[in-house]
Amino acid sequence: MTERAMSYRVLGETGPTVSAICLGTMTFGQQNTEAEAHAQLDLAVERGINFIDCAEIYPVPTRAETSGATERYIGTWLARQQREKLVIATKVAGPARSLPWIRGGPATLDRANIREAVEGSLRRLRTDYIDLYQLHWPERNQPMFGQWQFDPTKERDCVPIRAQLEALAELVQEGKVRHVGLSNEHPWGVMEFVRLSRELGLPRVVSIQNAYSLVNRSYESGLAEIGHREHISLLAYSPLAFGHLSGKYLADPAAKGRITLFEHFGQRYSKPNLVPAVQAYAELAREHGLTPVQLALAFVYSRWFVGSTIIGATTIAQLEQNLAAWNVLLDAPLQEAIDTLHLRYTNPAP
């Protein structure tokens, strides 16, 4: 297998230049110690990764005892790095989830909450600025994290998108945030952010961080066109579907992983067609001399609309395996075979 150099892409039209692979860190502080976190970060940089993603609620599962540990671990590592060579992304938590240990709620994504969240992240990360600041999920009523139907009966009051953008604009003007992005968003929301930024001269979002994998290609249905026409890059998370696409749960449903360690993570991955789909992709991989991990990651790495793929690991060995998949290139017949399976098992983990 030919060793392939890391590639770099500009997020959006004017965003930061990032490596095609981003190191996800949601295990730091729960499944990984500070020393293990630093070892992963060192290896990632050694392999050409300049892009690190975190969030104020990490590690997961989020809880009061560990809240903010991920950013703190990155901060102690970042203190001995050349800051200007790295792109650090983090996120502000919104309402719709019960997080009483974070800003007492948080109740809204208003100016006060966004500002307090940024200040907290800056302290924990030990930096003066955040390269990419993302809204972790929409404040408004939306299906998320395994829910798949919009329910208008669940409408609630929320901070207008304009006010959210205005709060972010202040932080950009102050130099505390360089660029802004979205996460777990839907087409209507993305277009509202685009419209308001254009009409009012507010910061344009450069990226959207959504789940994307062989078993969740829902991004392609509406958001891919928006991303292309409005120059918004996808940051693809969960490319291995929380370990399912590694095939390890096929051999042992009780195998150690986030799905078995933390029960509430199963909602997105408990749909009827998930196991048959994973089996089919694992068989396809073996038919082509690949591991299931190689097939799953090479697929996401190859997609034209992906600005960067967020990979996470709990061991250095897993991280090495994920990085090595960058060297796998899928030929046209294999891409066609993947699409055939997708039409049979369409998005079993939305």
pLDDT in tens, 178-213: 999 999 999 999 999 999 999 999 999 999 999 999
The answer as to whether 20 is a domain residue is: yes
pTM: 0.97
Of the listed ranges 115-129, 137-151, 163-177, the least confidently predicted one is 137-151
Residue 36 belongs to domain spanning: 8-245+303-329
* Digit-coded pLDDT (tens) for 15-54: 999 999 999 999 999 999 999 999 999 999 999 999 999 9
Rounded Cα–Cα distance for residues 338 and 289 (Å): 15
Say which amino acid occupies 210.
N
Q: Could you give the C-alpha distances from 128 to 86, 120, 131, 200, 232, in angstroms and in order? A: 13, 11, 10, 27, 25
Poorest-confidence range of 148-152, 251-255, 316-320?
251-255
Q: Give the total number of structural domains in the chain.
A: 1
For residue 269, the model assigns a pLDDT of 82
pLDDT of residue 262: 75
pLDDT at 260 over 80: no
Catalytically active residues, by annotation? 58
Instruction: Tell me, yes or no, whether 161 lies in a domain.
Output: yes
Rounded distance between C-alpha atoms, residue 259 and residue 60, angstroms: 12
Give the three-state DSSP class for 99.
strand
Share of the chain above pLDDT 90, in %: 86
Strand (E) or helix (H) holding 292: helix 292-302
Give the closest residue to 200 by CA, choosing from 233, 162, 234: 162
Q: Is the pLDDT higher at 271 or at 78?
A: 78
Does residue 290 lie within any of the structural domains? no
The H-assigned helical ranges of 142-291 are 161-173, 187-200, 219-230, 248-251, 258-261, 274-287
Q: Answer yes or no: is 275 within a domain.
A: no
Tell me what pLDDT residue 255 has: 83
Q: What percent of the chain has pLDDT over 70?
A: 99
- Angstrom distance (rounded) from CA 47 to CA 36: 17
Mean pLDDT of 61-67: 94
The yes-or-no verdict on residue 263 having pLDDT over 80 is no
Question: 72-86, 224-238, 260-274: which has the minimum mean pLDDT?
Answer: 260-274
Domain assignment present for residue 143? The answer is yes
Q: How confident is the model at residue 265 (pLDDT cuts 50, 70, 90)?
A: low
- With respect to residue 253, please indicate whether it lies within any of the assigned structural domains: no
Tell me the average pLDDT across 113-122: 98
CATH of the domain at 107: 3.20.20.100
pLDDT of residue 266: 64
Hey, what are 181's tokens? 């992005």
The answer to whether residue 175 scores a pLDDT higher than 80 is yes
Average pLDDT over residues 268-273: 85
Which range, of 21-30, 126-135, 136-145, 250-259, averages the lowest pLDDT? 250-259
d(CA 338, CA 260): 27
pLDDT at residue 239 in the model: 98
Confidence of residue 337 (pLDDT cuts 50, 70, 90): very high
**Does any domain span residue 48?**
yes
Q: Would you say residue 308 lies in a domain?
A: yes
